[in-house]
Amino acid sequence: MVEGYVCGADGRAVSNTDVLVKDTRVSYGQVVRTDGDGYYKATFHLHNDNLGDPLLVEAKGEQQHLKVEFDPKDLESDRKIRVNFGTGCAASGPPSWVWWGGGAVVAVAGGLIGMKLARSQRKRVKVKPQGKRKS
């Protein structure tokens, strides 16, 4: 699998952009489009004899030349290569709404827990009336 992000010079994601991913040794390739977050993914069926194949990835007129690399003994993990174009959104990971939404949920949960703790503390603290003191 070849995946990554395409961003403009301003760091914003570039959506609906064609990305060419091609194994140039066997002349097999495909064109995929970026989504709204600038993310793309091209899936290949890689055999162990594809190890070291030259790989061309092109977006926005920019080309990156790599080699297909993976551990041929590892039959469990996905064979992934990440190729990013531009700056800014490559490190973004999940969309920003995930972070904002998660932060809001944590804040609300923290507030509710804090209110419950405060109420339980008020119930526990009872002032005992003091009786008359003997002199």
pLDDT in tens, 4-58: 999 988 888 999 999 999 988 887 889 999 999 999 999 887 778 888 889 899 9
* Runs of H (alpha helix) within the chain: 96-124
**Domain limits at 25?**
2-91
Q: Cβ neighbours of residue 36 under 8 Å, at least 6 residues apart? A: 13, 15
Q: Are residues 13 and 75 in the same domain?
A: yes
Indicate if 115 and 84 belong to the same structural domain: no
pLDDT at 47: 79
User: Can you tell me the distance from the alpha carbon of 13 to that of 18, in angstroms, rounded to the nearest whole number?
Assistant: 13
72 located within any domain: yes
What's the predicted TM-score (pTM) here?
Answer: 0.61
Assigned token pair, 22 = 């091609």
Residues 103-119, mean pLDDT to the nearest whole number? 74
Co-location of 11 and 52 in the same domain: yes
Kind and range of the H or E element at 39? strand 39-42
Query: What are the DSSP calls for 65-97, one per residue?
Result: EEE----TT--SS---EE--BSSSGGG--S-HH
pLDDT attached to residue 40: 94
Q: Using one digit for the tens of pLDDT, what is the confidence trace for 74-89?
A: 888 888 888 999 877 7
How much is the pLDDT for 20? 94
